[in-house]
Amino acid sequence: MNRPYNFSAGPAAIPEEVLQQAAGEMLDWHGSGMSVMEMSHRGKEFIAICEQAESDLRELLAVPPEFKILFMQGGGIGENAIVPLNLSRAATVDFVVTGSWSQKSRKEALRYAAEVHTAASGEASGFTTLPDPSGWQLSRGASYVHICSNETIHGVEFQELPDLKALGSDAPLVVDFSSHAASRPVDWRRVGLAFGGAQKNLGPAGVTLVVVREDLIGHALPICPSGFDYKNVAEAESRYNTPPTWAIYVMGLTFQWLKRQREGELGGIAAVQARNIAKAKLLYDAIDASAFYVNKVAMNCRSRMNVPFLLADDKLNDAFLAGAKERGLLQLKGHKSVGGMRASIYNAMPLAGVQALVDYLRDFERERA
Ligand SMILES: *Cc1c(COP(=O)(O)O)cnc(C)c1O
């Protein structure tokens, strides 16, 4: 039986092969006689799982050796505090506000950073465009510059990361890549730290991925909880305290699935990116070709992962969602702050799922317009 296509923004769809493998290994992981959930986080089995996940991610995203990969807890919201606790060094921190998530991050930083400066904001456009980096008002001597590279709610995505050096800033770039991590390659030369909760594009809820340049570790404020001090977590190889072992394991299976992907000549993350580009094009083309559906985001910053759209008549929203569910198209309801619909088409969504949605868009319009 085919499973329905799940367009949830998060926790989101996980590749079926990964779910199958986790199910197959549920009662007895590799002859250990234990479920991964039942293992000591200090035993050799779990250490092997954790190290494998780290090295697979390092290979998949070409993470350079001067970066540490940390598996933490607390989610993206937790990192909104953990980042300033570790990196702000009682100096100014800069924020580029491009939607709900960077807005939230900025607000949380006010509690910990000595000074929070908004270098640019897309608010005047209703967060339908990204402020051009050439106009950002970056502070001199800022301890970091925060961006959210994919705004999950507003559906805007930086197609490439800003080059702060070219903008005259020496500050490290902090990137919240929660909702498009591992959807495309990362130019690590432009990054100081990237973080993301796993439940959008990497695996189950409970583990937070942090990739941080080594020189940024070891400067935590005295009030930083010891379990959230990157230095402690890095020295203990993500086992300073009990990590979310099951979530790390399933995320690791997802990294292996990503590494196996092929698209023509392309493999791994390049294949994943090519597929994501094709999926997004299929959906945006269908929305743009119709007057019945609208996506308000500027073409050059449309998210390939989260596609919000409105129906011409929002009184049809409930009928649209009910009809979608009948066809096995789940969790398309938009975020309450923007209304309408949202199709999240993360890595685990196959092209066939997007095609099924596009077919439904056409049929629903034909019936109701
Ligand atoms: C979901 C999300 C978060 C919050 O993640 P939690 O794990 O719920 O704390 C933060 N940033 C972005 C971009 C997100 O999509």
Instruction: Give the model confidence (pLDDT) of 115-135 as tens digits.
Output: 999 999 999 999 999 999 999
333: annotated active-site residue: no
336: annotated active-site residue: no
Dist CA 38 CA 106 (whole Å): 38
56, 68, 136, 200: which one is catalytic?
Answer: 200
Q: Which of 8, 77, 103, 338 to mutate to test the pocket of ligand 1 (most atoms within 8 A of CB)?
A: 77
Is 148 near ligand 1, meaning CB less than 6 Å away? Answer: yes
Write down the pLDDT at residue 3.
94
Q: Beta strand pairing status for 266-267 and 262-263?
A: antiparallel
Q: What are the backbone angles phi and psi of residue 360, rounded to the nearest 5°? A: -65, -40
Q: Categorize the per-residue pLDDT at 1 as very low, low, confident or very high, splitting at 50, 70 and 90.
A: low
Is 74 near ligand 1, meaning CB less than 6 Å away? Answer: no
Q: Residue 5 pairs with which residues in a beta bridge?
A: 329
Average pLDDT over residues 266-277: 98
Q: What atom in ligand 1 is closest to the CA of residue 10?
A: 1
Asked if the model's pLDDT at residue 328 lies above 80, the reply is yes
CA atoms within 13 A on the CB side of 199: 14
Average pLDDT over residues 331-355: 97
Dist CA 162 CA 110 (whole Å): 23
- Distance of alpha carbon 261 from the chain centroid: 19
176: CB partners within 8 A, 6+ apart: 76, 79, 101, 102, 105, 146, 147, 148, 149, 194, 195, 196
Instruction: Give the model confidence (pLDDT) of 17-71 as tens digits.
Output: 999 999 999 999 999 999 999 999 999 999 999 999 999 999 999 999 999 999 9
Q: What are the backbone angles phi and psi of residue 330, rounded to the nearest 5°? A: -105, 155
200: annotated active-site residue: yes
| CA of residue 200 to ligand 1 center, whole Å | 8
Dist CA 147 CA 190 (whole Å): 12
Dist CA 320 CA 365 (whole Å): 10
- Whose C-alpha lies nearest to ligand 1, atom 4? 76
- Whose C-alpha lies nearest to ligand 1, atom 5? 76
Asked if the model's pLDDT at residue 252 lies above 70, the reply is yes
101, 136, 246, 257: which one is catalytic?
Answer: 101
Under 8 Å between Cβ of 99 and 131: no
301: CB partners within 8 A, 6+ apart: 129, 130, 156, 157, 158, 159
| CA of residue 36 to ligand 1 center, whole Å | 26
Q: What atom in ligand 1 is closest to the CA of residue 151?
A: 13
Is 145 near ligand 1, meaning CB less than 6 Å away? Answer: no
Domain ranges of the chain: 17-258, 266-368
Asked if the model's pLDDT at residue 96 lies above 80, the reply is yes
Q: Tell me which of 3.90.1150.10, 3.30.420.40, 3.40.50.2300, 1.10.287.3510 is the CATH number of domain 266-368.
A: 3.90.1150.10
Write down the pLDDT at residue 2.
84
Domain 17-258 listed as CATH 3.40.50.10320 = no
Token pair belonging to 58: 């390092």
Average pLDDT over residues 74-96: 97
Asked if the model's pLDDT at residue 369 lies above 90, the reply is no
Q: Which of 101, 104, 107, 208 to mutate to test the pocket of ligand 1 (most atoms within 8 A of CB)?
A: 101
Average pLDDT over residues 336-363: 97
Is 105 near ligand 1, meaning CB less than 6 Å away? Answer: no
68, 176, 246, 333: which one is catalytic?
Answer: 176
**How buried is residue 27: exposed, middle or buried, by Cβ count under 10 Å (0-12/13-18/19+)?**
exposed
What is the residue-averaged pLDDT of the chain? 97
44: CB partners within 8 A, 6+ apart: none
| CA of residue 9 to ligand 1 center, whole Å | 10
Instruction: Give the model confidence (pLDDT) of 193-251 as tens digits.
Output: 999 999 999 999 999 999 999 999 999 999 999 999 999 999 999 999 999 999 999 99
Q: What atom in ligand 1 is closest to the CA of residue 148?
A: 13
Q: Residue 116 pairs with which residues in a beta bridge?
A: 93
SS (H, E, C) 104-128: HHHHHHCCCCCEEEEEEECHHHCCC
Under 8 Å between Cβ of 101 and 146: no
Is 254 near ligand 1, meaning CB less than 6 Å away? Answer: no
